[in-house]
């Protein structure tokens, strides 16, 4: 079989389907996609709202308490609180609908979605962690979003097996960390990025097994270094004190110097560890997988997948939040935990043979279901016998081909396509699609993605930004009653909440680690971390090692490399061609960083 070039139905760009891709689609009994990788990712991510939270009333029978939820007040969705939704007080199959062969499937699904009660926040197996979303197995957490097996975390996004940390993004196996992006297996690490196995350090980039360092890049097994200079223990302690890392003023200076060092450092084309024949970024222990990102180990024969792993095999277009014993899954988000043969789902755990379903658990043979738990043979939440189900499914698939859904722009969605964007319960800018595949309002609307105008509320600020204390010393418990003003004051594009609060758990953490109070709201802090995350895509590029120095002359090589003159190596990297970082191939990078 030959590779096939197709034109994306959404953006009109060409994309390639390789012979291996066809083998996968065949295994899933699916036609090849008609949207490109980027448009497929946006479409899927539109079902995942992690951070746009609203206040609504609980609609469970006899309830009327305020809830925090991912559904904006005007959305026609019935919302239940966590406890009631997970209880046996109601039965999702009571909402079952007969399949109507006179209407497109996606239209029927959308209608069902407006009737079946939804979880206010997508949260499961939570202990004292009510304000967490797309989280599973959290304990004592607050605003933990897109997380798995975590404890005592607040204001975090994408954390796995981490504890006692605040403001971390893409975190594997960390403890006592603050303001870190893509760090793993570290302890007491602050303001750092892309570092592994480090402790008691501040402002590290691409460091491994370092301790007691400040403002360093590209170091291995280092101790007592400041801005990549070696000091004795006594000198280090003295210098560190002078830097004033416990004050916002001190941090600002160190941050500036660190960012300067960052641009002069070299950057490996991809962070891939203990992997075989794999491409992507920030992946570990991965086999024969391509275009995969942020995997915490154990992914095999997969492609276009993000944030997951743990004995997952044969996954395409999966994530974020996939794996842990998942096999044969296509175009899914937040799906896995011993699941197999799944396509077009959002939040499906421990299930088999599921198509076009959301928030379903421990079930088998589902098609077009919502909120179903421990059931089998259901279509649009209606239960059937095995025989009836097996007779109906091929007819429905055929019906989806014969009477496809046609969106407002005339695009056609048949069986084998994810839910059309306009049927998603989120607007583009409420979903994480805007984090990973950003578009301006104008661009989004041109493509036909719904956009939501946020209401501008003016919170009652009790502490103006310029009066936020410079250090944590002397800040008393009453701070948790105040509303602090964000440095952006709502003037940014980062969905600024203008005012923000400090929670007691957070205050205790700042005191313990001598961290000054934040000066930005959670949304602005999150966006500032996002800027340090490379995109979930790859570009073909050339090594920027010119022989004795980097192409831009900012980095001087320290050793002789294997090549004569300019390095001829090419690679696939998530550093876009217009980025300022100096990107080296594996050999050149390994020659320099030892």
Binding site for Zn ion (CB under 5 A): 8, 10-11, 36, 39, 486, 488, 496, 521, 524, 543, 545, 561, 567, 569, 585, 588
Question: At its nearest, how many Å lie between Zn ion and the CB of residue 430?
Answer: 17
Distance CA 366, CA 202 (A): 49
Question: At its nearest, how many Å lie between Zn ion and the CB of residue 9?
Answer: 7
Cβ distance to Zn ion smaller for residue 60 or 521:
521
Distance CA 46, CA 490 (A): 24
Distance CA 589, CA 594 (A): 9
Cβ distance to Zn ion smaller for residue 387 or 453:
453
Cβ distance to Zn ion smaller for residue 447 or 451:
447
Question: At its nearest, how many Å lie between Zn ion and the CB of residue 556?
Answer: 12
**HSE (side-chain half, CA atoms, 13 Å) at 439:** 25
Burial tier of 233 (Cβ tally within 10 Å: 0-12, 13-18, 19+): exposed
Cβ distance to Zn ion smaller for residue 272 or 486:
486
DSSP 25-61: HHHTT-PPPSS-HHHHHHHHHTT--SS--EEEE--ST
Distance of CA 386 to the CA centre of its chain: 37
Cβ distance to Zn ion smaller for residue 266 or 370:
266
Choose among 375, 356, 379: nearest CA to 364.
375
On whether the CB atoms of residues 241 and 250 are closer than 8 A, the answer is no
Reported as type and span, the H/E element at residue 434 is: helix 433-436
Q: How far is CA 364 from CA 240, 369, 389, 515, in A?
A: 58, 11, 12, 49
Cβ distance to Zn ion smaller for residue 151 or 317:
317
Distance CA 300, CA 278 (A): 9
Question: At its nearest, how many Å lie between Zn ion and the CB of residue 397?
Answer: 24
Question: At its nearest, how many Å lie between Zn ion and the CB of residue 521?
Answer: 3
Cβ distance to Zn ion smaller for residue 199 or 489:
489
Distance CA 568, CA 160 (A): 38
On whether the CB atoms of residues 573 and 271 are closer than 8 A, the answer is no
Q: How many CB atoms lie within 10 A of CB 531?
A: 7
Reported as type and span, the H/E element at residue 349 is: strand 340-349
Question: At its nearest, how many Å lie between Zn ion and the CB of residue 279?
Answer: 17
Q: Give ∠ CA 157-161-167 in degrees, rounded to 5.
A: 30
On whether the CB atoms of residues 300 and 310 are closer than 8 A, the answer is no
Question: At its nearest, how many Å lie between Zn ion and the CB of residue 376?
Answer: 36
Question: At its nearest, how many Å lie between Zn ion and the CB of residue 168?
Answer: 18
Cβ distance to Zn ion smaller for residue 327 or 331:
331
Choose among 53, 81, 52, 50: nearest CA to 146.
50
Q: What is the DSSP letter of 556?
A: B
Distance CA 513, CA 202 (A): 12
Cβ distance to Zn ion smaller for residue 7 or 374:
7
Question: At its nearest, how many Å lie between Zn ion and the CB of residue 256?
Answer: 21
Distance CA 273, CA 283 (A): 6
Distance CA 178, CA 470 (A): 17
Using only C-alpha atoms, what is the Rg of the chain? 25
Q: What is the DSSP letter of 149?
A: E
List beta partners, residue 273: 284
Question: At its nearest, how many Å lie between Zn ion and the CB of residue 269?
Answer: 9
Question: At its nearest, how many Å lie between Zn ion and the CB of residue 156?
Answer: 17
Question: At its nearest, how many Å lie between Zn ion and the CB of residue 13?
Answer: 5
Cβ distance to Zn ion smaller for residue 238 or 556:
556
Question: At its nearest, how many Å lie between Zn ion and the CB of residue 543?
Answer: 3
Cβ distance to Zn ion smaller for residue 325 or 535:
535
Cβ distance to Zn ion smaller for residue 59 or 248:
248
Strands 306-309 and 292-295: parallel
Cβ distance to Zn ion smaller for residue 111 or 482:
482
Distance CA 501, CA 481 (A): 8
3-state secondary structure of 375: coil
């Amino acid at each position: 079989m030959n590779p096939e070039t197709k034109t994306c139905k959404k953006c009109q760009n060409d994309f390639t389907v390789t012979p291996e891709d066809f083998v996968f689609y065949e295994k899933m009994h699916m036609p090849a996609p008609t949207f490109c990788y980027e448009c497929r990712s946006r479409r899927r991510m539109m079902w995942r709202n992690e951070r746009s939270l609203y206040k609504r009333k609980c609609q469970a029978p006899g309830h009327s308490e305020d809830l925090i939820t991912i559904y904006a007040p005007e959305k026609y969705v019935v919302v239940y609180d966590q406890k009631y939704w997970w209880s046996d007080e109601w039965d999702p199959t009571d909402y079952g609908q007969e399949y109507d062969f006179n209407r497109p499937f996606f239209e029927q699904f959308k209608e069902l979605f407006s009737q079946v009660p939804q979880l206010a926040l997508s949260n499961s197996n939570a202990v004292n962690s009510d304000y967490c979303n797309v989280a599973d197995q959290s304990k004592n957490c607050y605003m933990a979003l897109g997380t798995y097996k975590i404890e005592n975390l607040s204001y975090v996004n994408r954390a796995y097996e981490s504890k006692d940390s605040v403001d971390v993004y893409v975190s594997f196996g960390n403890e006592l960390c603050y303001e870190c992006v893509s760090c793993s297996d570290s302890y007491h690490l602050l303001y750092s990025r892309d570092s592994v196995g480090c402790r008691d350090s501040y402002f590290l980039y691409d460091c491994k097994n370092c301790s007691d360092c400040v403002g360093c890049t590209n170091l291995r097994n280092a101790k007592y270094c400041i801005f990549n200079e070696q000091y004795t223990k006594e000198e280090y302690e003295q210098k560190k004190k002078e830097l004033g890392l416990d004050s916002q003023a001190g941090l600002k200076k160190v941050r500036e110097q660190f960012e300067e060092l960052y641009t002069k450092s070299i950057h490996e084309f991809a962070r891939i560890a203990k992997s075989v024949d794999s491409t992507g970024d920030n992946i570990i222990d991965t086999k024969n997988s391509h275009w995969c990102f942020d995997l915490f180990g154990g992914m095999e024969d997969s492609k276009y997948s993000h944030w997951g792993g743990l004995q997952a095999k044969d996954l395409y277009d999966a994530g974020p939040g996939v794996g842990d014993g998942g096999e044969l899954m296509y175009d899914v988000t937040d799906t896995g935990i011993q699941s197999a043969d799944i396509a077009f789902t959002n939040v499906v755990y421990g299930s088999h043979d599921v198509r076009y379903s959301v928030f379903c658990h421990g079930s088998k043979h589902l098609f077009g279901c919502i909120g179903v738990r421990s059931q089998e043979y259901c279509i649009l939440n209606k239960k059937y016998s095995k025989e009836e189900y097996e007779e109906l499914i091929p007819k429905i698939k055929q019906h989806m081909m014969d009477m496809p859904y046609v969106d407002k722009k005339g695009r056609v969605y048949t069986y084998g396509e994810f839910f059309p964007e306009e049927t998603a319960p989120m607007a583009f800018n409420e979903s994480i699609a805007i984090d990973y595949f950003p578009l301006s309002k104008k661009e989004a609307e041109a493509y036909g993605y719904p956009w939501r105008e946020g209401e501008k509320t003016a919170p009652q600020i009790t502490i103006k930004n310029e009066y936020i204390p410079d250090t944590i010393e002397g800040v008393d418990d009453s701070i948790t009653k105040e509303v602090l003003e964000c440095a952006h004051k709502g003037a940014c594009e980062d969905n600024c909440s203008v005012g923000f609060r400090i929670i007691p758990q957070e205050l205790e953490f700042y005191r313990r680690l001598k961290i000054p109070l934040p000066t930005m709201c959670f949304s602005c802090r999150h966006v500032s971390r996002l800027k340090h995350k490379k995109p979930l895509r790859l570009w073909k590029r050339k090594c920027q090692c010119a022989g004795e120095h980097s192409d831009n002359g900012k980095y001087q090589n320290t050793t002789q490399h294997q090549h004569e003159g300019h390095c001829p190596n090419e690679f696939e990297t998530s550093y876009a061609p217009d980025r300022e970082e100096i990107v080296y191939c594996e050999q050149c990078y390994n020659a320099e960083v030892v």
